[in-house]
Structure 1
């Protein structure tokens, strides 16, 4: 079991009837629990709609770095077409320094679906297709600022400030062949989403990333691939299916439930996904809007996969 590394994803959704401040507090409790149980990383999403309890993840990552001890933290993902690559590099080198190197930088080419939010963030009325086309060029600039890839004597020859900080690992989040190839060209790790409706859940995409990574980087090392999936895990199959049906009535047009069932059943489904996509890294989005069932699922899977727990206070 130890060959499979498990991470968690939190979107910070404020479900109907919930209080946003309570959702924030739950995220901190979940982070501390995952830290104790031996999960590899907690990823935090970026969204700008009113039913989320944070927008950009940077301030959450900074706060969680001080509230946890060993768990990795990451953005899933910065909407890079909207921002200055230098500013992103500075923010995440700073987060690396604050966290002792535990923060990784995940980016994507997506933008908000809400045209009002998009215009406010982008500072223009350009259509989404025009803005997202900037992803590749901004990614190239971001890498240069992270790496200090400038001539000797250049202002950024020692990389973005803070220069002393460890360079955060770069991940690209996506759901198609285009993002997979861009990640391979950029020598970035790749997280492939199964739960977004746009995903075809095609193992050929991660296989293409691995092949192209070898071709572009000339490396025999296996590139790092993670599969991001959604999960409803409960004590009984009946409870799990009931929660799945409720969720699909809320988010059916944007996301899907990938695995559902008891802890033992979810373990078996996770192992099947590991084999199908040939990965040792899975990111789990637990689709529970109630804290106690989510907590129970996080604990149950940690025990079944024999994660290295540290239960000291």
Structure 2
């Protein structure tokens, strides 16, 4: 991979006519290919009740990916912590660490990952869903998942030891994720690695990185700030093919931002036919194209290297968003796989 490390963020996209089982199978095949090509890490996002996204449970998907790979780091990008009990998260990722020692990442965010109805259903767990307690819950997970475990002190006196797993010899690496200043500042104060969700919109990237680096307090695990960038990417043999494969995802983003009903990801042909009449992507495609990386392999690779250098990082996590043609198999994503292959060099 030369001087630039590449990683992958997977939302497990679901295209028109595809089942969840087929979408997951395609993603696991992609994880195996990324492992062969030398990618650094493979993360699954957490989103709920979205017809085009099957990544609802990062720990389950990461465990499946770990079983299909040998060296690549696997994990979450991220677990939306207010939806879950800190102890449950710690137990899940302690188990993952036992399955794949030394190659598990626990990326944590504080956004809901869905609409208000689903958020309410996910957060029917009492005080653990209190967003204001997010910093304490992050600290709790770090302690619980460590080999030392954590200790509860009772107000009436006495203590109670808790371990996420009985005999841990290591712990997942914790990352804070976010798209605002909040997580950047919390990561800095906690001495934790941090990732800005640049693939969402990119707005505020420079400020978030500056705050993180300027306010960083060294920790034992991380004496220096640790960060990388995320980006939506489509690479193909030709510029024309890359733009065609990008259109289904661009149209989905346009629907999301326009408050329109969501649906399974269109195929390339379906997207082109619909765009010719409804022009759904037209108002946003130029702005998105400025921040997305779409083109031939060498062109995209060059632009990613320049992007990383401009922000002082040596790793970029790509979200390969290439759509599929009608004739392509339902249990594979050739466009995403080819993107990953072309960028590996």
TM range, smaller chain:
0.7 to 0.9
Structure 1 residue aligned with 2:38? 38
| Correspondent of 1:247 among 246, 249, 252 | 249
- TM-superposed CA distance for 1:37, in Å, is 0.7
| Correspondent of 2:303 among 258, 269, 276 | 269
| Correspondent of 2:164 among 160, 166, 179 | 160
Q: TM-score, normalised by structure 2?
A: 0.78
Task: Give the ranges of 4+ consecutive aligned residues of structure 1 lying more than 6 Å apart after TM superposition.
Answer: none
- Which sections of structure 1, spanning at least 5 residues, go unmatched? 304-313
Contact between 2:181 and 2:211, CA under 8 Å: does it hold in 1? yes
- Range 45-54 or range 7-16, more displaced: 45-54
Contact between 1:119 and 1:125, CA under 8 Å: does it hold in 2? no
Structure 1 residue aligned with 2:343? 301
Contact between 1:6 and 1:284, CA under 8 Å: does it hold in 2? yes
- TM-superposed CA distance for 1:242, in Å, is 2.7
Between the two proteins, the alignment pairs up a number of residues equal to: 297
- 2:88 & 2:121 partners in 1: Cα distance? 18
- TM-superposed CA distance for 1:134, in Å, is 3.1
Q: TM-score, normalised by structure 1?
A: 0.86
- 2:179 & 2:237 partners in 1: Cα distance? 31
Structure 1 residue aligned with 2:316? 282
Structure 1's 281 and 154: CA in aligned 2 closer, same or farther, altered over 3 A? Answer: farther
1:82-120 CA-to-partner distances (Å, cap 9, x unmatched) read 211111111111110111221111100010332221111
Structure 2 residue aligned with 1:196? 200
- Which sections of structure 2, spanning at least 5 residues, go unmatched? 258-283, 325-332
Contact between 1:227 and 1:282, CA under 8 Å: does it hold in 2? yes
1:248-302 CA-to-partner distances (Å, cap 9, x unmatched) read 2221245955211111110111011111211111100011132112111111111
- 2:159 & 2:102 partners in 1: Cα distance? 26
Structure 1 residue aligned with 2:144? 145
- Report SS of the residue matched to 1:134: helix
Structure 2 residue aligned with 1:12? 12
Contact between 1:62 and 1:98, CA under 8 Å: does it hold in 2? yes
- 2:49 & 2:152 partners in 1: Cα distance? 41
CA RMSD of aligned residues (A): 2.6
- Report SS of the residue matched to 1:133: helix
- Range 170-179 or range 245-254, more displaced: 245-254
> Which has more radius of gyration?
2
- Report SS of the residue matched to 2:170: coil
Contact between 1:44 and 1:77, CA under 8 Å: does it hold in 2? yes
